[in-house]
Amino acid sequence: MKIFADSASDLPKHFFEDYKVDLFPLRVEINNNEYQDIIEIEPKTVYDAMRQGAVPKTSQVSPEAFLKQFEQLAKNNEEGLYIAFSSNLSGTYNTAVMIASQVREQYPEFKLKIIDSKCASLGYGLLVKEAVKLRDDGMAFSDLIAHIDKLAQHMTHLFTVENLDYLAAGGRLSKSSAFIGGLLSIKPILHVEDGKLIPLEKIRGRKKAINRIIDIMAERGGDFSNKVVGISHADDIEFANEVKSLMQDKLHPKAFEITSIGAVIGAHVGPGTIAIFFTDKEY
């Protein structure tokens, strides 16, 4: 079974190579130059450019990338699973469905399942990692799909940004709200609901925002002793480790996964963002 994922999963390049996961890169444009996420650009390059005033643009996976991989899968008569970035945050999922349907016209037995994860960043990445584990453990194709589908529905995302201007630049917040919020050191807590970015609360100060996130985690996640918590950061590993220590002291999770927020998602949230991911049920 082949597993496909796109770069909005924020997994490092070596993961795709080490675990034989086929990567579909989204694209990032900075200063009129376009790059394939993960393959041609590092997140830090994007964050440094943003600090210097650049406003990156992002675009979905190219239809040609899907066509090439899906046709190969069909020709080889293999089973395939593509776990896709939330359809409410990108057109990537819909493009993949369209291309798969074209391939199916030529290859009626084409065995590809595409899951709209309704997830982003490491919340999405944790689904991919679980799918790889289940594939390598020999789980049947249909059972694996059902498990990942259920997991996706219960993946909680909580995050806060360091600078509101980046959300304003992407149209997620009004410029006046960003200006006032900046003056008052407002740190919004946001989450993902049905694959969309939704503001949850506004807190003054970064540390207070993180403490509130931990409270929300306890409310929504219950017992963390058997759960993995994902932490992704936008070029601030020190703060990510600080957040990990706070969570360890208060929630005692089974394990942590820490990664960098990738270039595509980072282009919208900006440097200093911290995001937390966990399932609200045990599986």
Is the predicted pLDDT of residue 1 greater than 60, yes or no? yes
Is the predicted pLDDT of residue 169 greater than 80, yes or no? no
Q: Are residues 149 and 16 in the same domain?
A: yes
pLDDT category at 166 given cuts 50, 70, 90 is low
Last residue of a domain, one of 153, 179, 204: 153
- pLDDT tens digits for 170-218? 554 444 444 344 444 678 888 898 888 888 888 888 899 999 999 999 9
1, 124 Cβ separation under 8 angstroms: no
- pLDDT tens digits for 211-237? 999 999 999 999 999 999 999 999 999
- Is 39 among the domain residues? no
Q: Are residues 122 and 95 in the same domain?
A: yes
Mean pLDDT over each residue of the chain, to the nearest integer: 91
Q: Are residues 134 and 250 in the same domain?
A: no
Q: Are residues 13 and 126 in the same domain?
A: yes
- Number of domains composing the chain: 2
- Is 104 among the domain residues? yes
Give the pLDDT confidence score for residue 27 in this predicted structure: 97
Last residue of a domain, one of 91, 124, 153: 153
Q: Are residues 262 and 193 in the same domain?
A: yes
Q: Are residues 167 and 140 in the same domain?
A: no
- pLDDT tens digits for 68-96? 999 999 999 999 999 999 999 999 999 99
- pLDDT tens digits for 255-264? 999 999 999 9
- Is 198 among the domain residues? yes
Q: Are residues 212 and 239 in the same domain?
A: yes
CATH number of the structural domain spanning residue 99: 3.40.50.10440
pLDDT category at 282 given cuts 50, 70, 90 is low
Give the pLDDT confidence score for residue 155 in this predicted structure: 96
Structure tokens at 48: 């440094």
- Is 50 among the domain residues? no
101-113 average pLDDT score: 97
| pTM score, whole prediction | 0.92
- Is 42 among the domain residues? no
- Is 45 among the domain residues? no
- Tell me the CA end-to-end span of the chain in Å, nearest whole number: 22
The edge-to-edge listing of strands for the beta sheet with 79-84 is: 21-24, 2-6, 79-84, 111-116
CA distances from residue 282 to 130, 137, 224, 227 in whole angstroms, order as listed: 13, 19, 9, 7
Q: Are residues 146 and 172 in the same domain?
A: no
Is the predicted pLDDT of residue 125 greater than 70, yes or no? yes
Segments forming the whole domain that contains residue 91: 2-26+61-153
Last residue of a domain, one of 97, 128, 153: 153
Label residues 41-55 b or e (16+ Cβ within 10 Å = b).
bebebbbebbeeeee
Q: Are residues 16 and 111 in the same domain?
A: yes
CATH number of the structural domain spanning residue 192: 3.30.1180.10
Q: Are residues 145 and 183 in the same domain?
A: no
Give the pLDDT confidence score for residue 201 in this predicted structure: 87
pLDDT category at 111 given cuts 50, 70, 90 is very high
55-64 average pLDDT score: 95
Give the pLDDT confidence score for residue 184 in this predicted structure: 45
Q: Are residues 225 and 264 in the same domain?
A: yes
Give the pLDDT confidence score for residue 190 in this predicted structure: 85
- Is 6 among the domain residues? yes
Q: Are residues 14 and 146 in the same domain?
A: yes
